[in-house]
Amino acid sequence: MSQLIPMSIALVAGLLMTRVFKKLHLNFPDVTAFLIAGLAIGPYGLGSLHIGGLGFSSLEAVNELSVISSVALGFIAFAIGNEFRLSQLKETGRQAAVIGVLQALVAMVLVDAALLGLHLLMPDVLSAPAAITLGAIATATAPAATLMVVRQYKARGKLTDLLLPIVALDDAVGLVAFAVSFGVATALHSGSVNLLSILVEPLLEIVGSLLLGSLMGLILTLLEKLFFSNSNRLSLTIAFVVMTIALSGMEFRLGPVKLGFSNLLVCMMLGTVFCNLCPRSPDIMERSDRWTVPLYALFFVLSGAELDLSVFSSLAVVGIGVVYILTRSAGKYLGARGSAAMVNCDHNIRKYLGITLLPQAGVALGMSASSMSLGAGDGRLIRNIVLFSVLVYELVGPSLTRWALMKSGDIRPVEPEKQTYARFKSKADC
């Protein structure tokens, strides 16, 4: 019961912050408001006053609600998996696959190179495992922010048709890249570098996660046929996602090999299998999206509350964050432009696609949460650099996406308010 009050306060604070943004005419996505609300009620904000019920007085108090973050990450991955509908990938599948893979890998390579260079200059501040982990996290793009812009402005055109499957595929590539890179980072951290820990265990984790997610997706599809009420189908889906999250936390040992699962990859595969096999999945997913709104809000508020501002008292750490943002942005843009040219996309797609891939939020935060197993020092450094970058990207990313879609011609240069007024006037005239 003691966790209900802080959980309620976190949700209310996040929602109120979105109203503050609206009153100030700040055209930012809600995720930015949630993160700032978390920072405001966190240990470095109102929580520092140690007044009961006013905020989180310590990081330990925030961590008591970690189950909320785990469940939210599972539903985020489940929603990503639902973007892999085969019927939508037939026309742009080859182009989306090539661009989705290459732009993510180019971003990872550039960030790895830059941060490993910083590691050589500042080994006491940035370790090699942290640099490699941040390189893998750089692959992830925030699908929610991108889709929000597309839907808000009703974007239509060649760039939009290609962008949506790329955003979904991007996070799939990112999850796989993270599994391999994090295996390397863990091996370096433990001091025992061998092929078993670098290649075998990450490969088994990826394969095992895909198999577990596929099995759960198949079972969920079969069980959905037993119910005729949409409410019961939604309840079953929620129960299965939560069950899948719990099962993905299992670990086994086969001799010297440790077999684990990726929470994000398992739930993403659950969503992919479910959306392609269950004919009722579009309606169920629409209902699920409404159910998870407060869950996502809590996740981002708690993520903001975990921001350790003391880390940013070091100019070296701030410098790492700036280098991460600049090199990731360059990698996304150059990777998308080069790969789009390889598959003969038109000029507008080559020029503007990379700009639409800059937003970064939920999946990257999930990856950074997983990195805590590297140890308190490296884990917290990675977490705060990612949170810092998410704040920056969420402030400028959606605006840049809107600008790029307008320049490509997918969004007409008409303000949404005028479109609403025109539709209202048209109905009134009738």
Q: What pLDDT score was predicted for residue 423?
A: 47
Per-residue confidence band for 81, with pLDDT thresholds at 50, 70 and 90: confident
| In the chain, % of residues over pLDDT 90 | 23
Res. 250: pLDDT tops 80: yes
pLDDT of amino acid 430: 45
CA-to-CA dists, residue 33 to 24, 295, 391, 399, angstroms: 12, 15, 10, 15
- pLDDT single digits (tens) 104-127: 999 999 999 999 999 998 888 888
Return the pLDDT at 183: 77
Mean pLDDT of the region 292-308: 82
Q: Taking the CB of residue 51, how many other CB atoms lie within 10 A of it?
A: 10
Please tell me the distance from the alpha carbon of residue 119 to that of residue 320, in angstroms, as a whole number: 10
Taking all residues of the chain, what is their mean pLDDT, rounded to a whole number? 82
Exposed, middle or buried by CB within 10 Å (0-12, 13-18, 19+), for 306? Answer: buried
Report how far residue 331's alpha carbon sits from residue 134's, in angstroms, rounded to the nearest whole number.
13
Q: For CA atoms 285, 246, 143, 11, give the dihedral sign.
A: positive
pLDDT of residue 301: 87
69 in Cβ contact with 299 (< 8 Å): yes
Least confident of 257-266, 304-313, 419-428: 419-428
Distance set, CA 82 to CA 232, 267, 283, 375 (Å): 20, 10, 12, 34
Q: Highest mean pLDDT range out of 33-47, 198-212, 298-312?
A: 33-47
Compute the distance between CA of residue 347 and CA of residue 206 in angstroms, rounded to an integer.
36
Non-local (6+) Cβ contacts of 124 within 8 A are: none
Does residue 201 surpass a pLDDT of 50? yes
| pLDDT computed for residue 161 by the predictor | 80
Is the predicted pLDDT of residue 416 greater than 60, yes or no? no
Percent of the chain at pLDDT above 70?
Answer: 89
Indicate whether 426 pLDDT > 50.
Answer: no
The arithmetic mean of pLDDT across residues 301-314, rounded, is 76
Look up residue 193 and give its two tokens: 């570098």
Distance CA 352, CA 204 (A): 37
In terms of Cα–Cα distance, which of 262, 268, 263, 172 is closest to 217? 268
Q: Is the Cβ–Cβ distance between 267 and 74 less than 8 Å?
A: yes
Q: Which amino acid is at 79?
A: A
The predicted structure's pLDDT at residue 192: 62
Average pLDDT over residues 316-343: 92
**What pLDDT band is residue 25 in, cutting at 50, 70 and 90?**
confident
pLDDT at 428 over 50: no
